[in-house]
Amino acid sequence: MLVQEDLSRSLDGGESPSFQFLSCTGSTVNDMLAGAEHSQIDEFNTTATADFALLSIGGNDLGFFEIMNSCIFRFYSFYSGTCESALRHADEQMASSDFEHRLRLVIMEILDRVRWEKRPWFTITVTGYARFFNADTEECDDYSFGMWWRGPKLKRELRQRMNDMVVDVNNKIRRSVDAINAAFAEPRVLFVDYDDAFEGHRFCEPGVIEPDYARNETWFFLVGGLDNTESPVLGVTDALLPLDSPLVDPVNCLGPAQKSGDWGEMALCMMATAASKDAELRKADGRVVAENSMWYVPTYYGKTFHPRSLGHMAMRDRIYKAWRENNIIPTLG
């Protein structure tokens, strides 16, 4: 949306550019591919002239939510599985050639969808990910983001391992992009690594007591944290669910939540199930679940560890820099 707004302003009163927002929380590469039940590629409207596509993909294929659940938040309390198991699964996915193969496949399907041979200007910009933590601060070893009482600590070893995973994902995406471009006379895909722009803006920075909900210079969302825009407010998607919502029905919520892939719905279902098994289960603040209704807000969890607005602005600026360097959209001021 930031790019669309900037392009509209750059046209100085001319016709606004068309824009399709096809991003889907929890979507994997297989979900995107043509023929899938909710394929974003099939939904891509190419009847109008398409100039470029922005793509962020890969994290969900490696099980980012499972890692966040097992290693950081423990939404499902004692039943969340082990952190080591979740990290090992991600390592196995990373080691497989299937990950890069699927990345190349989805990018090629997008190029074929727009009939790239008839649109030599069309370019796909693929963004990487930013490391979540400062992995050097000793004091953060004693802090926790856990949802329940006595949650897991943010030990340096865990922070470093999760950061290394992000670097590995970025390298995989970069190699996939390079492999695709090698098959064309001119590059068709641009990889943008914005990780270094987040230096000083990660979790566990020096002097920060986590979780610090007042620190706007942290560019990732905390559970229930507001955005770091000038006047953050709860939107319509932040509304409380009714107590009888199927999203928090511990008997039936898991299947629909897994099918949706939505982080917020998965977290809600797991917490509802954990609470149903132990009515006295206490949240990290010491209160029992029944005393706090805010956990019935899906986006309370779904945005967690995703970039806040200042982070998105930094990402946008790195995209513009790459575009200028490659003469893709020189009209952006």
Q: 8-39: per-residue pLDDT in tens?
A: 676 665 666 778 888 877 788 888 889 988 89
Q: 114-155: per-residue pLDDT in tens?
A: 998 888 889 999 999 999 999 999 999 999 999 888 889 999
pLDDT of residue 141: 98
pLDDT of residue 242: 60
pLDDT of residue 299: 56
pTM value? 0.85
pLDDT of residue 83: 94
pLDDT of residue 48: 67
Counting Cα atoms < 13 Å in the Cβ hemisphere of 17 gives 19
φ, ψ of residue 288 to 5 degrees: the values are: -75, 155
Show the 3-state SS of 260-304: HCCHHHHHHHHHHHHHHHCCCCEECCCCEHHHCHHHHCCHHHHCC
- Strand intervals (E) in 123-193: 123-127, 189-192
Kindly give, in sequence order, each residue whose CB lies less than 8 Å from that of residue 224, ignoring residues fewer than 6 positions away: 213, 294, 297, 300, 301
Query: Residue 159 — pLDDT band, cuts 50, 70, 90?
Result: very high
pLDDT of residue 293: 42
Q: 235-259: per-residue pLDDT in tens?
A: 434 455 566 676 678 888 888 887 7
Query: Residue 289 — pLDDT band, cuts 50, 70, 90?
Result: very low
pLDDT of 295 above 50: no
Closest CA to 221 of 209, 211, 235: 211
Mean pLDDT on 282-303 = 55
pLDDT of residue 291: 42
Instruction: Please give the full DSSP string across 57-115, using - where no structure is assigned.
Output: -STGGGTHHHHIIIIII-TTGGGS--HHHHHHHHHHHHHSTHHHHHHHHHHHHHHHHTT
Range 2-45+52-215+308-325: architecture per CATH: 3-Layer(aba) Sandwich (3.40)
Which one of 59-63, 250-254, 308-312 scores highest in mean pLDDT?
Answer: 308-312
Q: 263-285: per-residue pLDDT in tens?
A: 778 888 888 888 888 777 776 66
pLDDT of 195 above 90: yes
Q: 211-238: per-residue pLDDT in tens?
A: 999 999 999 998 878 899 865 544 434 4
Q: 70-93: per-residue pLDDT in tens?
A: 999 988 887 888 999 999 999 998
Greater pLDDT, 49 or 331: 49
| β-strand partners of 239 | none
- Domain residue extents for the chain: 2-45+52-215+308-325
Share above pLDDT 90 across residues of the chain, in percent, rounded to a whole number: 44
Q: What is the mean pLDDT of the chain?
A: 84
Share above pLDDT 70 across residues of the chain, in percent, rounded to a whole number: 84
